[in-house]
Structure 1
């Protein structure tokens, strides 16, 4: 079976991008990366790829088994954006998504059933606990399957994830 897209998955950030101060943006996303940072980055990169799949931007092609020439403006992976501000937007969008998942204790690899339930009300004497079911289910679905609004905004400010056709 052949696929109309490259079989190699693009990963737009590294664990070090989360914890070191960016020379470009001056942002340090987290002081300590979560234990599953690599998996979160991979999943966030998939969401960024999905959000930008209709966009037109220049990439720097690198043939298999070759390293990027010194003239490569940024990145060393085929399919990564050539323009530095767009490449940085990809990195920042992934890092922002990881921060949101980490802060909200969401594990996208656990799927919808692996997310914690949200307690709406609890009382001590009788030991009653009420969960917010409907709101929680939609929030969990969105948090696992969709790019967060802050990440989407980062991409849009770089002219990406606009989802409109390119016309001449």
Structure 2
């Protein structure tokens, strides 16, 4: 599997120390970047990475943005919905009740672990790597 970023690049992008599971997050985000850029056409190096420095940078930054998004939200994409604490949304006692939660719903978590964040998509789109149809030469 191609990996488009390093732990050092995540730290440089976020300005924060990388999370303990950074390698796992990078690997998962790289797979998602590969998937969304599947129809992009570009020359590659022998290792499969784009030959163009700007395209390599865009892919790296997209991965870093995704890792940052998951880290800030406290989401483990490998664990999925099961990896998040479920918030009690309603509680009753002695005739009174309270309802509050600011945690994401199961559907929001499912979306966060299966699609790239908006910033990642924007980075790839700006680099010309996101298309709805294959380009031919």
Runs of 5+ unmatched residues, structure 1: 1-8, 21-27, 62-77
Query: 1:112 Cα deviation (Å)?
Result: 2.1
Structure with the higher fraction of residues in helix conformation: 2
Is this contact kept in 1: 2:14–2:68, CA < 8 A? Answer: yes
Number of equivalences:
136
Q: Which residue of 1 aligns with 2:9?
A: 17
Equivalent residue, structure 2, for 1:96: 65
Q: Output one character per residue of 1:47-68: Cα deviation in whole Å (capped at 9) or x when no partner.
A: 001111111111012xxxxxxx
Matches within 5 A, 1:28-67: 28-61=13-46
1:160 counterpart residue number: 129
Q: Is the Cα–Cα contact under 8 Å of residues 90 and 97 in structure 2 kept in the other structure? A: no
Distance in 2, matches of 1:123 and 1:35, equals: 38
Alignment of 1:114-133 (within 5 A): 114-118=83-87, 120=89
TM-score norm. by structure 2 comes to: 0.86
Runs of 4+ in 1 over 3 A off after TM superposition: 118-133
Q: CA RMSD in A?
A: 2.6
